[in-house]
Amino acid sequence: MVNNKKFVRILAIVLAFIMLLSVAMIAISALVDASASANSRNTRNQINELRNQRGELTRQKREVETRIRAIESQRMTELERKGILDARIILTGEEIDNISSTIDYFNLLIREKEYEVFNAQRRENEQLERYRSRVRNMEENGMISYLEIIFDSTSFSDMLARIDFVVDIMRSDENAYNNLVNARNATAARKAELEETKEELDEEKDLLEQMEAELLEQLEEAEAIIQKMEDDIEESRKLHAQVREDEDKIQSEINDQLRLLARQEAAERAAAAAARERERQRQAAAGGGSVTGSGQLMWPVSGIITSGFGVRRHPVFRDMRMHNGIDIGAPHGTRVVAADAGTVIISGYNSSYGNYVVLNHGNGMTTLYAHFSTRSVRVGDTVQRGQQVGLVGSTGVSTGPHLHFEVSVNGTRVNPRLHLP
């Protein structure tokens, strides 16, 4: 009888410990689930934000498409037509960047979902093992264990307490089964979410291929306009004059910016140290600050020089003319970096240069980067040597994707090769 009582007490203690351990494990699993789910929600929010941005790009692109359809009914120069097509190419490039970023986030979301599936499967296995252990225990001891717990009571109140304990044990058995079912359902749900996410990723990849093919068609259409000018002597002369005018205008704008910066820097040097620091901070915030480079430039993009500095036969106009920079051939979308540390003094679009950026490196030196598909910096930004400033494209007067790179010293264009390694 004494041994039975000891056995009953030990069994009760063990069962109570198992119940407490199960509750603790469930609580820990819940915390892990909450953390993983929060990561998935954050990633999904990023994807939704990118898709909203894509919707705005699509709206802008529809507006450009409307302008393109109206081109034939308007009296436009070929250069104006090229500008409209460039606008569509730029938006398509931004859509491709958007889709690529969305794919990156989907890959991250898939890894998070795979982790959630792993945790769900682990919890299911744990619940299954607990349930199997409980079933084995019931088979070994049978209902007699419950009866012994009740009938070994020493008083009526003790019996009621023991009955409550047996009820708790039975409820624990039911909970163990329910936990197993819930764990299996959770695993199935996580697996379904993972498969759905993979399908969404495949859709984004298909869309990326479609947009890349569309971009190639748009590039061919835009470049055909430039090629067409070769057959139109009068149009070629007009465009030649426009390009010359744009080159002079841009160089004049660069020189104006340099003179303005020189006056600002002279005023700063004349002021007290504290006032000079405040003025520099104000100008940096307003886009008027400057950064001095090393004077030794690095190559802004890897590629073959397709046209050097100096007098050459223009590929479009077929006449001899001065080429004020070097052309570096590179695939569409290749990163272009700052040749040296500096400040962005111009970032815009020009019918001849397309998307272009000008950096001031101090000591009278500036660099110009033209025909971008996309500009990565704005006026007033300070950039470090090797920092991305744009992507190779074929906007403006261009017969294929390349970077047009110019260097000016004290307002005069010089051969960039003199300052490159």
Confidence of residue 202 (pLDDT cuts 50, 70, 90): very high
pLDDT at 329 over 60: yes
pLDDT at 32 over 60: no
pLDDT at 269 over 70: no
Q: What is the mean pLDDT of residues 337-365?
A: 92
Whether residue 205 contacts residue 103, with contact meaning beta carbons closer than 8 Å, is answered with yes
The verdict on pTM exceeding 0.95 is: no
pLDDT (0 to 100) of residue 166: 57
Q: What is the mean pLDDT of residues 48-77?
A: 77
pLDDT (0 to 100) of residue 285: 47
Q: What is the mean pLDDT of residues 42-57?
A: 86
Whether residue 177 contacts residue 131, with contact meaning beta carbons closer than 8 Å, is answered with yes
Q: Which of 116-120, 306-310, 381-385 has the highest mean pLDDT?
A: 381-385
Least confident of 31-35, 355-359, 366-370: 31-35
- Residue of 50 and 273 predicted with greater confidence: 50
pLDDT at 83 over 50: yes
pLDDT (0 to 100) of residue 26: 57
Least confident of 39-48, 90-99, 305-314: 305-314
CB crowding 164-203: b at 16 or more within 10 Å, else e: ebbeebeebbeebeebbeebbebbeebbeebeebeebbee
Confidence of residue 55 (pLDDT cuts 50, 70, 90): confident
CB crowding 315-348: b at 16 or more within 10 Å, else e: bbbeeeeebbbbbbbbebbbbbbbbbbbbbbbbe
Confidence of residue 125 (pLDDT cuts 50, 70, 90): confident
169-180 pLDDT tens trace: 656 666 677 777
pLDDT (0 to 100) of residue 137: 67
Confidence of residue 299 (pLDDT cuts 50, 70, 90): very high
pLDDT (0 to 100) of residue 335: 95
Confidence of residue 339 (pLDDT cuts 50, 70, 90): very high
Whether residue 357 contacts residue 378, with contact meaning beta carbons closer than 8 Å, is answered with no
pLDDT at 416 over 60: yes
pLDDT (0 to 100) of residue 343: 93
Least confident of 57-61, 99-103, 175-179: 175-179
pLDDT (0 to 100) of residue 236: 60
Quick one: tokens of 145?
């264990």
Q: What is the mean pLDDT of residues 352-377?
A: 93
Three-state DSSP at 377 gives: coil
Whether residue 385 contacts residue 341, with contact meaning beta carbons closer than 8 Å, is answered with yes
pLDDT at 35 over 70: no
What mean pLDDT, rounded, does the chain reach? 78
pLDDT (0 to 100) of residue 1: 46
| Long-range contact pairs involving 90-94 (C-beta distance under 8 Å, separation at least 24) | 90/355, 90/373, 90/374, 90/393, 90/395, 91/57, 91/60, 91/61, 91/64, 92/61, 92/211, 92/214, 92/215, 92/218, 93/215, 93/333, 93/373, 93/374, 93/391, 93/393, 94/57, 94/374
pLDDT at 17 over 50: yes
Q: What is the mean pLDDT of residues 72-90?
A: 76
Q: What is the mean pLDDT of residues 361-372?
A: 93
Least confident of 46-60, 124-138, 278-292, 387-401: 278-292
Give percent of the chain above pLDDT 70.
Answer: 67
User: Which of 215, 223, 376 shows the shortest CA–CA distance to 301?
Assistant: 376
pLDDT (0 to 100) of residue 68: 72
Q: What is the mean pLDDT of residues 95-115?
A: 91
Confidence of residue 326 (pLDDT cuts 50, 70, 90): very high
